Structure 1
Amino acid sequence: MTAPLGVVVAVRGDGEAAVVAEIDAHPGLAVVRRCADLAEAVAVARAGLGSVVVLSEQPHLDADAVAAIRAAGAGLVGVADGAAPRLEALGIPPARGSLADAVLAAVARPAPDFAPPPERGGGAVIAVWGTGGAPGRTTVAVNLAAEAALAGHRTVLVDLDTAGASVATALGLADEAPGIAAVARAAARGEDAASLLERHLLDVASRLRVVTGLTRAARWPEVTAPGLERLWPALRAAAEVVVLDLAAPAEAAVGHGAGPRRDGATLAGLAEADVVVAVGGAEPHQLVRLVHALLDLEGPPPVVAVNRIRASVAGTRPEDAIAAALGRHAGVTEVWPLPWDLRACDAAARDGRTLAEAAPRSPLRRAIASMADVVIAAARAARDAPATVTD
């Protein structure tokens, strides 16, 4: 005799008793656990105690919980009195008609991915990434975004540095704004990502808007890959150019381990980007870090920018020496040299302004503006390139 199929129930409210009764009335089904909350349901699924989890809408139901249940090999069925847009957005098919039939169907076929926004948008995504040790990633990201806006592109700058967000400080914005945490968290719950962005984008200049970063680095688990996956299409729809300020790799910039990762936002941003700008410092120890980071980075070759170049740390012809070193040790064929320009950077930092505003004629501003033209063109070309088909 075949054992009945185990069902985990995590239904809130008065409807739970009816759900349990209907499942137990079917000869091929049996309720193995009635869970007090979603966390218990996830734990039970991970323990392999049920083949299907029956859920209702609840406050902590999000894409992370759905992904955890799916990863455990359990099917998903939703229950609701009426329309269930959040369940459907998260890829949990609501039972229409017989609940028992819906449970059996969930075992026979995998649940679909949670629904993306209707339009991906045409914006190009540029990720500014690089080594640890403060080589100037945020300085490059902020001013690259500012130059894109000055060139006439509708631009969104997103602070995705989950280790030390600083875009708000660099631009003189209030750092208590909800920013990326609120947007990613709500997107992971299945809320409309485009509406979320419109509520949280801050206008800082003509054609330049910002999503601020985490107010505390300890909040990094709120910015998860499922939330970001739903956010990318909305960002591309909100702007012609999207610039991501990413943290240096906390672990390695390759691979995905099980469970949340502190560098998960960095990995997600690198994977989504049409072009990656890898920023390193000109000091010898920073160049060593940059070489290691470039060798670990997967995907197309990045645009390499070396910041704070000066003869005092790299010799009389620092640009040539650095380009030769990176070519020899990391296979880099082209380097964008960003000169040491302490006075301009200090003026911008003091007033919370971009280089174009604080020091428009500075050598660093001119170098970033030149690089921005090339990077934006490359990002648009990569965005429009046909997808590579692999076996």
Structure 2
Amino acid sequence: MSLTVVVLGREEKLVREIESYRGELIVIRICDEPAEAIAVCTVESVDVLLVAERRLLPPMEQIDNLRMQRTIVVLRDREATGENATPGLLEVADSMSMIELEASILQEQRGMEAYSELAPESGNTSFGAEGRQPGRIICFWGAAGSPGRSTVALNYAAEAAVAGQSVVILDADTYAASIAIQLGMIDESASIAQICRVVDGNAKDAARLNAACMAVEVGDGSMLVATGIPRASRWPEVRAAALRRAVQILRSHHALVVVDVAPYIELDEQLTFDTMAPQRNAVTVEMLRCADEVMMVVAADSVGLPRAIRALDELEDRVPGIEVKIVFNKLGVANSGRSPRRRVMEAWERFGPTHLVVGSLPNDNEVCSAAILAGSPLLEIAPKSSLRSSIQQLAGIKSTDSTRKGASRRFERSR
């Protein structure tokens, strides 16, 4: 079985070694620039991209894309340690013989095949710390128009934390991050961007990712918060590939990873560039793909329902195969008339897609406004409110009403 190889870098000696070896490796193209090599690998479904110099190494997002199409990226470098610090990248010493190089590539290919066969569809690909079962990734998404997904995501995470779970919540909304604001935090450093930088530096330990987050006490529990970007212009700092890897690392050390994302899933940027370009909406799409559960928060009114139906149609077209659970929010007589839940369910069953409805949350603007004003979750401001009880049910937590109203909270950097 022959393996097609694209060599990135003008290393004539390397090409001569491959050709004189007469093994399974066959060089089909020599490229000077990463963009050219990526294009060739994408169009011709190349087996191996052999990078001759570290300075020519493609960005992490492109390495991930090549791995998804089953192209092995190999870096020959004199400083290679033999350990694959970057997932999807095989680093080998430039002194390695061709027979050893071929054996390493074949081993990597067999590992890639086994990986694709064993990996579940949910994206759960590894066991957690000390061999325990990894935690869950829950992504809160919704159509444009403020259906309340950030509020639901925050309070869902807070309820899980008070129930004793180890929780991390990430604000991955690249348009209008709001988790920090709802918690009364001022964080210009943007923990979510710091997390991406940590992963880009090939760090794979959860301690450094935890340290980039803020430890927040909620009621009798605590959770880690990765604050979002304070200005929308900083969206290139939040990279989809880096964030996906960070989430996978975090899930191996925490019981629950909650991700709040933007509503937009269009990936039209690729139409305006000759090469792979950063995509603002790629973060949302990547989080939807890797999540174990996707909660779609739908505003239960005459505007929110049609928007949600159209958004689900777009999701099926652009990112097929994702199972979505529906959470109706802002349910009330003023929005839907008498018997609001029954009316909304009838409308959804008549016009909406056949997705499972897992929750109905009442419209309580007064309580939500008080919570935002105080910079606290509902369990601290209105522990006996119907909205808080509904979110507890959504999270599968039995209500105890033990939280004291107005409980204090301290913020600190995670250690």
User: Is this a same-fold pair by TM over 0.5?
Assistant: yes
- Matched to 1:43, the amino acid is E
Check 1:8–1:269 CA distance in 2 against 1; reply closer, same or farther (3 A cut): closer
Aligned residues of 1:22 and 1:100 also touching (Cα < 8 A): no
Instruction: Tell me, yes or no, if the aligned pair for 1:187 and 1:193 is still in contact at 8 Å.
Output: no
The offset of 1:156, in angstroms, is: 1.0
What residue ranges of structure 1 are gaps of 5+ in the alignment? 11-19, 253-257, 376-391
- The answer as to whether partners of 2:324 and 2:355 remain within 8 angstroms in 1 is no
Q: TM-score, normalised by structure 2?
A: 0.72
AA in 1 matched with 2:391: I
How far apart are residue 165 of structure 1 and its match?
1.3
2:139 partner SS: strand
Whether 1:293 aligns to 2:311 is yes
Higher mean C-alpha displacement, 201-210 vs 287-296: 287-296
Q: C-alpha displacement at 1:158, in angstroms?
A: 1.2
Distance in 2 (alpha carbons) for counterparts of 1:216 and 1:43: 34
TM-score scaled by length of structure 1: 0.76
* Pairwise CA distance, 1:90: 4.4
Distance 1:45 1:60, change over 3 A: closer
Percent same amino acid among aligned pairs?
A: 28
Residues of 2 paired with 1:201 and 1:44: CA distance? 37
Match of 1:338 in 2: 361
3-state SS, counterpart of residue 203 of structure 2: coil
Deviation by residue 1:7-41 (Cα, 9 ceiling, x = unmatched): 3328xxxxxxxxx4743664838998795xxxx33
Separation in 1, partners of 2:388, 2:16: 72
Residue 266 of structure 2 is matched in structure 1 by 251
Q: Determine the C-alpha separation between the residues in 1 that align with 2:153 and 2:89.
A: 35
User: 2:75 matched to 1:77?
Assistant: yes
Instruction: Pick one of 54, 65, 88 that aligns with 2:51.
Output: 54
1:201 maps to 213
Which position in structure 2 is the counterpart of 1:324? 346
Please give the secondary structure, in 2, of the residue aligned with 1:92: strand
1:204-353 to 2 correspondences below 5 Å: 204-205=216-217, 206-251=221-266, 259=276, 260-295=278-313, 296-297=315-316, 298-299=320-321, 301-330=323-352, 331-332=354-355, 334=357, 336-353=359-376
CA gap 1:338/1:59 in 2 versus in 1, 3 angstroms? farther
Give the Å deviation of 1:168. 1.1
Tell me the number of residue pairs that the alignment of Structure 1 and Structure 2 aligns: 353
Q: What is the CA distance between 1:136 and its match in structure 2?
A: 0.6
Which residue of the partner structure matches residue 15 of structure 1? none
> Letter of the aligned partner of 1:210 in structure 2?
V
Aligned to 1:380: none
Q: Distance in 1 between matches of 2:209 and 2:49?
A: 34
Q: Are the equivalent residues in 1 in contact too, given 2:265–2:285 (CA < 8 A)?
A: no
**Structure 1's 237 and 82: CA in aligned 2 closer, same or farther, altered over 3 A?**
closer
In structure 1, give the amino acid aligned to 2:249: A
Question: What secondary structure is seen at the aligned counterpart in 2 of 1:149?
Answer: helix
Q: 1:291 to 1:26 in 2, by over 3 A?
A: closer
Contact 1:193–1:230, Cα closer than 8 Å, also in 2 = no
- Do 1:42 and 1:65's aligned partners in 2 also have CA atoms closer than 8 Å? no
Match of 1:164 among 151, 176, 181: 176
In structure 1, distance between residues paired with 2:331 and 2:395: 18
1:43 to 36, 55, 63: 36
1:150-161 pair list within 5 angstroms: 150-161=162-173
Moved more, 219-228 or 349-358: 219-228
